[in-house]
Amino acid sequence: MNPYLRDKLIQKLETLSDERGYQVLDYVDFLESRYADRSAAAATTAANPLGRFADAVEEKLRAGKVSASTIAETMGLMNRAMGVLNGAAAAGKSVANDLMSATSRVVDAATTAASSRTAPPPSGTTQAGASGTTGASDATTPPPGGRAGGDIPPR
């Protein structure tokens, strides 16, 4: 629908009472059921379960001959409740996304740290104990006298 036509319809609808507005809605539902593409309509209603629930409640109220003002008030309350639920769902989704990104950063940092520990030393350097310049003896070579420092001398 082009913007001019949409604005013109909204302008006309705003002047109607709730009772007349529901008559227009009935007519639009009739036109949609008669001429609309079935797959597009099904995809639109399937996308929002809260919207489907609100539509079902509105249809039940209208079928029960409830006054238009009561239906409008009920639907206003339901729309506010859906807004709160959608906000809570968005907040939950945001928290889940934040947790996932934090977990990814921790995993990336752990992977980087693990790979840097297992990487061979750069060329030209030696590992501790291999050069003998630290003054500490290597664990694989026995100290002078053939005994390790913690051995008990034989009797």
Average pLDDT of the chain is: 76
pLDDT: is 62 or 118 the higher one?
62
What pLDDT digit, counting tens, does each position of 20-60 carry? 888 888 888 888 888 877 666 555 555 677 788 888 888 88
Domains of the chain by residue range: 1-47, 49-111
Say if residue 139 is exposed, middle or buried (CB neighbours under 10 Å; 0-12, 13-18, 19+): exposed
What pLDDT digit, counting tens, does each position of 71-101 carry? 888 888 888 888 888 888 889 889 999 999 9
Structure tokens at 92: 């939950």
Q: Please check whether residue 85 is in contact with residue 50, taking contact to mean a CB–CB distance below 8 angstroms.
A: yes
Distance CA 135, CA 146 (A): 18
134: confidence class by pLDDT, cuts 50, 70, 90: low
The length of the chain in residues reads 155
Tokens 């005994």 belong to residue: 147
Tell me the C-alpha to C-alpha distance, in Å, between residue 39 and each of 44, 45, 67. 9, 10, 33
Tokens 């921790």 belong to residue: 106
pTM metric for this prediction: 0.42
Secondary structure of the chain in HEC code, one letter for each residue: CCHHHHHHHHHHHHCCCHHHHHHHHHHHHHHHHHHCCHHHHHHHHHHCHHHHHHHHHHHHHHHCCCCHHHHHHHHHHHHHHHHHHHHHHHHHHHHHHHHHHHHHHHHHHHHHHHHHHHCCCCCCCCCCCCCCCCCCCCCCCCCCCCCCCCCCCCC
